[in-house]
Amino acid sequence: MLEEVERWLSRRSWSVADRPLERILAAKRSTTVSVVLPALNEEATVGDIVGVIRRELMSEAVPLVDELVVLDSGSTDRTAEVAAAAGARVVARDDILPGYRPCPARARSCGGH
């Protein structure tokens, strides 16, 4: 790893042991914390992920996350339904970016965005 990258990471990285939950909650104060999960055909996993976030970070005991949104990127399975049933607010990519045409990861240029 490049030395400058290592220095940058060491100044900006931390572990959960460095920031106890009480300290994080105290620092939050009146700030709103939102978690946005981008998802594409994640029917098999999205419900469990939403459930863990709601149970572990949105409880009365640990009120760290205020809003949980699943951004459905055009799933062809039941990702949106499963996420909503687990308690997430689901937003469709097409509602946010109407007319946006996804670009394949390896494409150099998609044009028309």
pLDDT in tens, 23-70: 999 989 889 999 999 999 999 999 999 999 999 999 999 999 999 999
> Is pLDDT above 70 for 76?
yes
Phi, psi dihedral angles at 34 (to 5 degrees): -115, 140
CA distance 67 to 31: 12
Residue 19 DSSP symbol: S
> Is pLDDT above 80 for 92?
yes
